[in-house]
Structure 1
Amino acid sequence: MLKFGQNANNFTYPFVLKACGELLLVEIGRRVHCEVVVMGFELDAYVGNSLLVMYSRFGDMEMVKRLFDGMPVRDLTSWNTVISGYTNNRDPFEALLVFGLMGELGVRPDSATLLSVLPACCDLVALKQVIEVHGFIVRNNVGYFDVEVTNSLIDVYCKCSFVIGARTLFEKMSGRDTVTWNSMTLGYVSNGDHFESLRIFCRMISEGARPDQVTLITVLGACDQITALQFGTSVHALITRRGFAMYTIVGTTLIDMYAKCGCLDRSRSVFDEMLEKNLVSWSAMIGALGLHGRGIDALMVFNEMKETGIKPDEVSFTLILSACSHAGLVNDGHCIFNQMMKEYGINPKDEHYSCMVDLLGRAGHLNEAYQFIKAMKVKPTFDVWAAFLSACSANHNIELAEIAARNAFQCKPQRVSPYVLLSNIYASEKRWEDVGRVRSMVRQMGLKKLPGCTFIELDKVVHRFLVGDRSHSQSEAIYAKLEDMRHQLKGLYTPDTSSVFYDVNEDLKEKMLWDHSERLAIAFSLIKTGPGTVIRITKNLRVCRDCHTVIKLISKLVSREIIMRDIHRFHHFSNGFCSCNDYW
């Protein structure tokens, strides 16, 4: 254009500036800005707004502020551009300050303003400000009937853990779109209510709304958290019917879901059938194998990935180190840790150090693990000390456990898990005064222990059992089945009452063991399913040694395979044996 002697004007420059911003052509953009000034168009509102957009894209908010302050006339687009610029460049505090100034000067915001302000509130987890913005919307009827604004409010409320407020808005909406449903399902998942997330999804389907990739990935994530295999399999069928199976991200989520629901064979089938595999897909398969204690297979997949030319990243190294830890592959873990640093130039992060401490600790090399921690180039974090504390507990080393616990307390004093673990270590050694001291500390700090519970899915309905739970409608039959199994196993094993961390007599300890939630779930499954049916359960905590022994015996007694997921890994019980070989 310029070569042909045509001069640019105030209609030309905005398009050029927009192109520079989108392509991140910083130097060219600055030269065009100089030309704008020379040509006298800098004070033009349209050109000025385009400059604001361009510099926002460059991340140069200092220049944006200078230009904005120097504008003789600011229209609504000017204000919206600056607010969105601060929000997109991770400066939510400044975004809210500009929004406040806007109100003081009597500039009325529109829906676009609100769509920039609400994410800024979310970044600051400023629920009070979100409620104030919501009140402004209602009072001034700005964006009140705008689906995008309402969706944004639902999303922000969920991210600020105000799910009740999000649900109230959701129920009042008359024109919900897919984003609305996604915001609600994801909101429940993010806040730990996976059951309600699945209920919302069922309602979405029944009301004729069409799920997209985001919906399906969210729902599969909810399924894997509560081991809802049957539900997840139905979602997989829907994915196939709707043509989403071809997408790599969906396939990767299916790999993860099947693995976490205890169905490793299906996980591997999905992986093998994928037309295109990326780093995330390979990492998901490595993680799946590691979760099930198949460390050698995980190593084979890891090496196969490298042979295809895909370079492992920090996440894939974390997963393969974890796989080595669960399988007791100490030498392989050492080699991979060194390979990560020397061959790939990746400096170890907290998760890599934690995996190495776990690897050494599980193998009983506590002194080596402690020396490894002391030799770390960075300050050990809570996760490192927690992994070491867990290893000390498994190996009954009180002296090192106390060191690990003290450091864990200092890192995160409000985390209850190290207090519980230390108390349990003292209890196993019958040091009841120390147990009382630690439990008193927990009470004084207002901390609460996570109650043990077990999930089991039957006919697409997930049942939850707590310790000593008698709230189930078939509680009487469940406890009768437990008593029957207890009678049949009597004399076949000696109860390990060291797993009961209370100063009571042995008979009561044995009774308390039979109240554990995983036994209730297994008894329920034996009542409700036919011979030969695989039993799949999920425990939210680490399975105790006595339950581990009892489940091995039950698997032989009833000729059933029992697949159990605890907080660390999967256990496949069959014919009196466990896939972990008692190494967990």
Structure 2
Amino acid sequence: MNGSLTFKLLKPHNHYTILLKKSYTTAAAAAHFTQHALNHPLTSLQCGTMLQSLTNSKSVTKGQKLHAHMIVCGVLRNNTYVSTKLAAFYANCGRMAEARVIFDGIVLKSSFLWNFMIRGYACNGFSMKSLVLYREMLSFGQKADNFTYPFVLKVCGDLNLVEIGRRVHCEIVVCGLESDIYVGNCLLAMYSNFGDMEKARMVFDRMLKRDLTSWNTMIMGYVKNGDPREALVVFDLMRKSGLIADCTTLLGVLSACADSAAVKQGKAIHGYVLRNSIAHCNNFLTNSLIGMYCNCNSMVYARRLFEEVSRKDTVSWNSMISGYTKNGDAFESLRLFCRMVPEGAEPDQVTLIAVLRACDQITALHFGMSVHSYIVKKGFDENTIAGTALIDMYSKCGSLDCSRRVFDEMPKRNLVSWSAMVAGYGLHGRGSEAISIFHEMRTNSITPDEGVFTSVLSACSHAGLLDQGKEIFYSMTNKFDMRPGLAHYSCLVDLLGRAGHLDEAYELIKTMEVKPTVDTWAALLSACRLHQNVELAEISAQEVFNMDPKRVVSYICLSNIYAIEKRWDDVERVRGMVRRRGLKKPPGCSFIEVDKLHSFLM
């Protein structure tokens, strides 16, 4: 016999057949194994003890050998105890097909066996099978216990089965298991996955006993569901309860500090980490600290911590490069990128996208083209996100032809890719091409979202395509059942204003379904300057001043309108307002690439 030896066990009454393959390469070796097993059979108790040990260590190969031994010497025949142990072993090792064959052949199934099977399915990617088996367990008259419910709750959370999860919660309350800390923690995790932090908090407050996992689950739940402030409140309560935070706690709290820009609390966490020497043994924590400072616009602290790290990984570099880009220091972002490879770190997709965004901030076209070459060399050009970032970079750096070339060569485009191309044409005042891309996107069965509509309406505004812009705006409601947002109204106001329809733009603002923002009134004010409508300019300027008194550009715009009309007293009055409020016009800045990038203040 060559290849593998197949042991075949036929249970009485043909309940099931197990095919177990073992690596015996010759018939002689297989025969030797069989004879040895027959001469030295293990007892049921010995097999059960060994299976328990192998289950704990997840030793699949050794377990299969023991399975083969039990088949040969007949230990499995009519032996519920050993069969249960064997099914539990396979389930714990993630071998659910083998476990199910054995499980189906056992007539008297214990709660121990049901629980292992439910757990095995839940933890190995068969969530729905786990839930079906749970219902089957109840129909067989077997009661669920505190080892069953945690995995059923996990499945409900993973599959977002809200109604079923709530019914299981009711069953837990009826069974009196809500006070079990393990079950309670799984309820917290399930409701966090549902995004129902109100119900999670209710369960948390009713828990008679909480451990560190309970607190960590609540903190991470609030962070994941967009309520970082409440996460910090829970952390404060945890400290007052006397529990000591672990790395999981600190990672969650640092994420909360980053999301809410709570730099003061972030510094306190940093101090705790330093006092307890935690960061030295956890690189994730160091990177989280760097990311927190970057998100809080505290780049000095982030850089100091970054430079103290002896072995910087790609995540450390990405945090700093992205941080500088996000906080408007594109030059430092590119300088760090130039240091990254020589110091032994490998740029990934996140790095390259952050660098491309830095390039488009300062129109560093040649640097961006070098990054494009690196992307192609490393094979990232097949990636949709990287391709979209290249489209955006080239269009903002003035090379629309390169943007279109990248767009046409993309093997796969998503909604963001189409939106970037539409926005690129709009940025260059080529409204007709933007509208053409918009319609092409629709013929490719891609439904536009709010961002795409903003891009195409902005393109129509810059190109003065009044009729097409109005048609697209009203199609949001008529064809796509989408309510226009503030950005869309602002684009339409700008479009009407540029076309000289100032009264229509003003009426639109007054009848908007949402409250107009400062940008909406600023768009009308800019159009009033273009068409020299003093009356509407005064109305829109007053609205801007009320909403944002420090928006110096609007004062300058109104002053220039008065100057054209030679209303010098009004010019001096507006300029006096600027002086009294201590406002200054921000200087302009130009960028030139000659060997390296240079910046010039205007």
Give the TM-score, by structure 2 length: 0.74
- Confirm or deny that 1:425 pairs with 2:599: no
The aligned counterpart of 2:192 is: 56
Q: Residue 378 and residue 56 in structure 1: after superposition, are their counterparts in 2 closer, same or farther (change >3 A)?
A: closer
The aligned counterpart of 2:495 is: 359
2-structure distance, mates of 1:384, 1:306 = 28
Tell me by how many angstroms 1:73 deviates. 3.2
The aligned counterpart of 2:54 is: none
The 5 Å alignment of 1:295-334 reads 295-334=431-470
Q: Residue 440 and residue 206 in structure 1: after superposition, are their counterparts in 2 closer, same or farther (change >3 A)?
A: farther
- Confirm or deny that 1:77 pairs with 2:213: yes
- CA RMSD after TM alignment: 2.0
Look up the SS of the partner of 2:185 in the other structure.
Answer: helix
Look up the SS of the partner of 1:464 in the other structure.
Answer: strand
Question: Which is richer in helix?
Answer: 2
The aligned counterpart of 1:414 is: 550
The aligned counterpart of 1:466 is: 601
2-structure distance, mates of 1:59, 1:371 = 40
Q: Aligned partner of 1:450: which letter?
A: P
- Confirm or deny that 1:17 pairs with 2:153: yes
Tell me by how many angstroms 1:34 deviates. 3.5
2-structure distance, mates of 1:327, 1:33 = 58
1-structure distance, mates of 2:172, 2:500 = 71
- Confirm or deny that 1:263 pairs with 2:399: yes
Tell me by how many angstroms 1:430 deviates. 4.6
My pick for the range that moved more, 246-255 or 377-386, is 377-386
- Percent identity between matched residues is 61
The aligned counterpart of 2:233 is: 97
Q: Residue 69 and residue 213 in structure 1: after superposition, are their counterparts in 2 closer, same or farther (change >3 A)?
A: same
- Confirm or deny that 1:161 pairs with 2:326: no
- Confirm or deny that 1:337 pairs with 2:462: no
2-structure distance, mates of 1:392, 1:179 = 49
Q: Aligned partner of 2:358: which letter?
A: A
Q: Residue 68 and residue 359 in structure 1: after superposition, are their counterparts in 2 closer, same or farther (change >3 A)?
A: closer
Give CA deviations for 1:366-405 in whole Å, capped at 9, x if unaligned.
Answer: 3333333334333322111111111122223333222221
CA contact (8 A) 1:110 1:143 kept: no
- Confirm or deny that 1:140 pairs with 2:276: yes
Q: Residue 349 and residue 70 in structure 1: after superposition, are their counterparts in 2 closer, same or farther (change >3 A)?
A: closer
Tell me by how many angstroms 1:183 deviates. 1.1
Segments of 5+ residues of structure 2 without an aligned counterpart are 1-113, 115-136
- Confirm or deny that 1:222 pairs with 2:358: yes
Give CA deviations for 1:100-131 in whole Å, capped at 9, x if unaligned.
Answer: 22222221101100111122223332221111
The aligned counterpart of 1:395 is: 531
2-structure distance, mates of 1:385, 1:110 = 50
Give CA deviations for 1:234-263 in whole Å, capped at 9, x if unaligned.
Answer: 111111111111111111111111111111
The 5 Å alignment of 1:70-219 reads 70-219=206-355
Partner residue of 2:579 out of 440, 443, 446: 443
CA contact (8 A) 1:302 1:320 kept: yes
Partner residue of 1:249 out of 380, 385, 388: 385
Give CA deviations for 1:143-196 in whole Å, capped at 9, x if unaligned.
Answer: 454221121121121221111111111111123222211111111111111111
1-structure distance, mates of 2:224, 2:291 = 17
Q: Aligned partner of 2:308: which letter?
A: K
Partner residue of 2:514 out of 375, 378, 388: 378
Q: Aligned partner of 2:304: which letter?
A: T
Which gives a bigger RCO, structure 1 or 2 (Cα 8 Å, sep 6+)? 1
Give CA deviations for 1:332-370 in whole Å, capped at 9, x if unaligned.
Answer: 112212222211122221111111121122223333333
Look up the SS of the partner of 1:245 in the other structure.
Answer: helix
The aligned counterpart of 1:582 is: none
Q: Aligned partner of 1:135: which letter?
A: G
Aligned residues: 466
Give CA deviations for 1:291-314 in whole Å, capped at 9, x if unaligned.
Answer: 111111112111111111112221
- Report the structure number with the largest CA radius of gyration: 2
Give the TM-score, by structure 1 length: 0.76
1-structure distance, mates of 2:467, 2:147 = 67
Tell me by how many angstroms 1:432 deviates. 4.1
1-structure distance, mates of 2:140, 2:312 = 52
Give CA deviations for 1:510-530 in whole Å, capped at 9, x if unaligned.
Answer: xxxxxxxxxxxxxxxxxxxxx
1-structure distance, mates of 2:376, 2:539 = 53
